Amino acid sequence: MLFGCLDKVTYVQILTLIALAEISTVAQHTPMRLFSTNSPESFVDFGEAVLRSLPSDNGLYMPEVIHELDDAFWSDWKTLDFQEMACRVVSTLLQGVMPEEDLREIVSEALNFPAPVVKLDDSHHVLELFHGPTLAFKDFGARFMARVMAWLNRDSDKPLTVLVATSGDTGGAVAHAFHNVPGTRVIILYPSGKVSGLQEKQLTTLGGNITAMEIDGSFDDCQRMVKSAFLDVKVSKACNLTSANSINISRLIPQMLYYFEAARQFEKPPVFVIPSGNFGNLTALLLATRMGLKVGHIVAATNVNDVVPQYLTSSTYQPRPSVATISNAMDVGAPSNFARMVEIFGNDWNAMSTSITGYAYNDAQTRDAIREVHEKYGYVIDPHGAVAYLAAEAWLLQHPDDITVILETAHPSKFPEVMHEELGADAVKIPERLACLADAEKVSIPMKADENELLQWLSANPA
């Protein structure tokens, strides 16, 4: 027999090894599951959570288990190259979802631009998240989501149609993220005349698998039309419709990675200061901490839409209509990721308010901060980053020995009026990849704000 010539000890060792190998294979191949925050008892697989975006019970998908990174990871995480570190983190979270090589390819294609940490002084650092194609951190999430969706649809002969309504920025990030991704196309609805000139160019000049519908109506009309297409079972099926909703769980995954990347550059865990609206960016950090990333503290910075800072001090959660500000990507009155935050802290206000401190600032304070950062450090910070800078200052006042990392979520050139008003016309240069859009030709399909027109168009153009 096979083990006849082995002594007993070796035989037992071999059996143990086989058993261990079996256990680790099982662990690796038990794919992760997700539940809805509104029904913790029922589960879906990762593919369903990504392609559906939203559970039908209006909750949010959350991973059943958030695996901690193992000792082997922590012993070399500071020396790994970024792609390698990123793959280890993602594959630990997404266990058994896809083969390692596919994951590697997706991560390296999605995150093909840097996220540098710029030092202002010993206690202030800026994590620049605007080096992607649309100059905002949403590129991270959107580019990863696009490639994961294409991967999930890989065996279908029908392309995936991503249908999205935008009031400006999200649509641009989604369009760029899916541009030239095989097996996908994007249809963006935007309100005619209600997005900025450059934003419109970002939506309408890509061509290829990106189609822009210019709706004669409001953003709400666009959203209503998109909703009606999803509710129409025939059209939805014929077009293989999916939404690239900002609460899609896959978006949060790559957003964890820049926290790891930034934190490993410091001797002691830094305090992350996060300018927040829907709190996706902050939720991504919470996931990273659940995987074992150590942080000094978490600071949530908002403009006057301060529902979460209010909750953190009062324990009362009171969503309300949003107010327009100069940091407009954070004008959110009912943050969509709040349910995930509550879930991560096991519905324990004490736990959340111990880990996260919130601060809120108005536009006048934000403008002052833009000038202050420029005068003190010669650094040009955008209105969202400026809100975070103020919160970092407030935190450092109480904790002067801490190291803060302020997330700079968008390039200042995306907010030309405010920047010109505070710093003069020459302070901000538009990066070449955006500037060249000014000359590109706009192509859009004009459409009335009418659900039936969209349904007809989709029926006539199923792919």
Ligand X SMILES: *Cc1c(COP(=O)(O)O)cnc(C)c1O
Q: Which residues in 112-141 contact ligand X (CB under 6 A)?
A: 136, 138
Please give the C-alpha separations between residue 142 and each of 30, 150, 204, 253, 366, in angstroms, as whole numbers: 27, 12, 18, 10, 28
Q: Judged by CB under 6 A, how many residues of this single chain contact ligand X?
A: 15
Show the binding pattern over residues 382-411: x = contacts ligand X (CB under 6 A), - = does not.
--x------------------------xx-
Residue among 91 and 366 whose Cβ is closer to ligand X: 366
Nearest distance in Å: CB 404, ligand X: 17
Q: Which stretch binds ligand X (CB under 6 A): 272-280, 306-314, 421-429, 444-452?
A: 272-280
CB 67 within 8 A of CB 92: yes
Residue among 185 and 384 whose Cβ is closer to ligand X: 384
Q: Which of 159, 270, 277, 358 binds ligand X (CB under 6 A)?
A: 277
The Cα–Cα gap between 329 and 199 comes to 13
Residue among 136 and 239 whose Cβ is closer to ligand X: 136
Q: Which stretch binds ligand X (CB under 6 A): 79-87, 190-198, 219-227, 269-277?
A: 269-277
CA nearest neighbour of 450 among 233, 216, 236, 164: 216
Residue among 241 and 373 whose Cβ is closer to ligand X: 373
Nearest distance in Å: CB 188, ligand X: 16
Show the binding pattern over residues 410-439: x = contacts ligand X (CB under 6 A), - = does not.
x-----------------------------
Residue among 181 and 286 whose Cβ is closer to ligand X: 286
CA nearest neighbour of 174 among 195, 194, 144: 144
Residue among 142 and 239 whose Cβ is closer to ligand X: 142
Residue among 77 and 279 whose Cβ is closer to ligand X: 279
Residue among 63 and 275 whose Cβ is closer to ligand X: 275
Nearest distance in Å: CB 407, ligand X: 8
Does residue 275 interact with ligand X by CB under 6 A? yes
CB 89 within 8 A of CB 80: no
Q: Which of 276, 305, 357, 404 binds ligand X (CB under 6 A)?
A: 276
Q: Which of 127, 210, 330, 344 binds ligand X (CB under 6 A)?
A: 330
Does residue 309 interact with ligand X by CB under 6 A? no
Nearest distance in Å: CB 176, ligand X: 14
Nearest distance in Å: CB 278, ligand X: 3
Q: Which stretch binds ligand X (CB under 6 A): 67-75, 275-283, 361-369, 433-441?
A: 275-283
CB 262 within 8 A of CB 268: no
Nearest distance in Å: CB 25, ligand X: 37
Does residue 279 interact with ligand X by CB under 6 A? yes
Nearest distance in Å: CB 173, ligand X: 8
Q: Which residues in 176-235 contact ligand X (CB under 6 A)?
A: none
Q: Which of 228, 245, 265, 278 binds ligand X (CB under 6 A)?
A: 278
Q: Which residues in 310-329 contact ligand X (CB under 6 A)?
A: 329
Q: How do strand 117-121 and strand 124-128 relate by DSSP bridges? A: antiparallel
Q: Which stretch binds ligand X (CB under 6 A): 157-165, 273-281, 306-314, 419-427?
A: 273-281
Nearest distance in Å: CB 353, ligand X: 18
Binding site for ligand X (CB under 6 A): 136, 138, 169, 275-281, 329-330, 384, 409-410
